[in-house]
Structure 1
Amino acid sequence: MFIPLHDRNNLKHIRLQVVTIGLILANVVIFFLTGPLFVEASTVNADLLGFGYIPALIFGDATLAPGIAVVPEAATHITYAFLHADLYHLGTNMLFLWVFGDNVEDALGHVRFLIFYLACAAAGAVVHGLVVPYSQAPLIGASGAVSGVVAAYFLLHPRVRVWVLVLFRIPLPLPAFIPLALWIAQQFYMLAVDPSADVSWGAHVGGIIAGLLLVLVMRRKGVPLFDRVVVVPKAVRLVDAPPRDLPPPQAGAGPWGTRP
């Protein structure tokens, strides 16, 4: 539906979005180490099975062949979110994280943002598993976690203008609530009409629900929702009293001078 390009939303509590940058770097490095462009197909398949989230392992009685399981099954609720199928899959997820992640990290703080991100990833996996509990196909991708970030941004900064590429070709500056509300609604709609699609709408919805709930309790004290606080630019000086070199107003004087 749309691709985010840029927002004019300065950081207020942190100097640099180190966790957002770190997550992007981690995803890129892991893609180079495990992606199909750089690794033999047999190794890629083993990585997907060993680190991807497979609902049938959690909800069913499926098991992995000896030597394939690399981490405990519970850990795959997190590890799946660092694997991607191709450059487009990686690029779109990381673009969403880059545009929206810095301000959510700013609102939560570094450590809580990392916890938030991983919790949204886990929530995405859980909902995906509930939707297709006996699927043996590994779930991969950061979409669940990134969906939580988008949902949190929607609550925090709905009126900030975001440049988006509508229909993949038309750049427009829109208030964030317009494209984000449409995007969130699309995820729920697609889950309802096509729950078993190749795209895991369940993981998206799980991340969205987690993001909406967690940002309410994890944001810094004093950080408002819905952009209720107007931040005055540093170049603007607020004046509490009229300048002393002006004469005091006289009785009978109107805004344009003394009345006749």
Structure 2
Amino acid sequence: MFLPFFDSNPKQRITVQAVTVALIVLNVAMFLLFQGAVVDYPDYRLALIPVTLFAEQARPADLILIPEETTLLSYAFLHGSWLHLAGNMLFLWVFGDNVEDAMGHVKFLIFFILCGIAGGLAYAIMTPDPAAPLVGASGATSGVVAAYLMLHPKVKVWVLVTLLIKFPFQLPAWIVLGAYVVWNVIMVLSGENGSNTAWWAHIGGLVAGAALTPLFKHRDVKLFDQDLPESVTANKG
């Protein structure tokens, strides 16, 4: 898989990606507040648990902190480990600024929240293990991935290949993010459940992101890099 870490894609409408930065700070703060030094045991009081969300079972008393329905949002701000947190925040940092630029601060925040909720619902409905808690911003960040793929597929992204090549190189976003989409679809279709990865949450976020991007972007923002200068999409090797 590709690990993106930088794109040369200047913002056109905003000066600072304030919401993207605030979301990253909030995720890190939530991790420290509710998990601290315990990096492999999330606070399941804020996790989404499908069987309790749908009232098929009562949530144990020691796991009740907030109303059940609000776990559709709170789950997206907890993570299972520092590595889990870092991966999601890296994707948000690399791609969130340009999506926020295309939508504006307020609409981007709403977009992120809705994609997170969609990811949680997809997981809750489709998971083969409805008693397994869900944590992580992957559903929401998958929505950001879908938006970037629709907005800037031609922009070159610096990546590492995590399995083979260890040095950085550039690829168009449609290859990097397209591979992410295809990999998630393969995992869902194969019924892969042994990796503790909530593939259905990713799919839910991707679908929501693709559906919402045309509605949330500014009217003058064109899809598929139709309004970016050639210098942005050219290979700067």
**Alpha-carbon distance in structure 1 between the residues aligned to 2:127 and 2:57:** 14
**Matched residue, 1:103:** 98
Amino acid at match of 1:19: V
**Alpha-carbon distance in structure 1 between the residues aligned to 2:159 and 2:101:** 21
Relative contact order (alpha carbons < 8 A, sep ≥ 6): 1 or 2 greater? 2
**Corresponding position: 1:213 with 2:211:** yes
**Matched residue, 2:190:** 193
Are the counterparts in 2 of residues 151 and 208 from structure 1 also a CA contact under 8 Å?
yes
Please give the residue correspondences for 1:57-136 in structure 2 after superposition, counting only pairs within 5 Å: 57-59=52-54, 61-132=56-127, 135-136=130-131
**Corresponding position: 1:12 with 2:35:** no
Unaligned regions of 5+ residues in structure 1, if any?
Answer: 234-260
**Matched residue, 2:179:** 182
In the alignment of these two chains, the number of paired residues is 228
Shift of 1:91: 0.4
Shift of 1:216: 1.0
**Matched residue, 2:201:** 203
Amino acid at match of 1:226: F
Cα deviation, 1:199-254, whole Å, max 9, x if unaligned, reads 01000000000000100111011100000124388xxxxxxxxxxxxxxxxxxxxx
Cα distance, 1:192–1:36 mapped onto 2, change above 3 Å: farther
Amino acid at match of 1:214: L
**Corresponding position: 1:53 with 2:48:** yes
**Alpha-carbon distance in structure 2 between the residues aligned to 1:203 and 1:121:** 8
**Alpha-carbon distance in structure 2 between the residues aligned to 1:224 and 1:170:** 33
Cα deviation, 1:72-99, whole Å, max 9, x if unaligned, reads 1111111000001111000010000000
CA RMSD, aligned part only? 1.8
**Alpha-carbon distance in structure 2 between the residues aligned to 1:211 and 1:194:** 23
Q: Once superposed, which parts of structure 1, at least 4 consecutive aligned residues long, lie more than 3 Å away?
A: 230-233
**Alpha-carbon distance in structure 1 between the residues aligned to 2:32 and 2:111:** 25
Are the counterparts in 2 of residues 52 and 80 from structure 1 also a CA contact under 8 Å?
yes
**Corresponding position: 1:138 with 2:133:** yes
**Alpha-carbon distance in structure 2 between the residues aligned to 1:13 and 1:25:** 23
Amino acid at match of 1:171: P
TM-score of the two chains, using structure 2 as the length reference: 0.91
Unaligned regions of 5+ residues in structure 2, if any?
Answer: 232-237
TM-score of the two chains, using structure 1 as the length reference: 0.83
Are the counterparts in 2 of residues 35 and 85 from structure 1 also a CA contact under 8 Å?
no
Cα deviation, 1:25-57, whole Å, max 9, x if unaligned, reads 000011111225159x9xx56x31x11000111
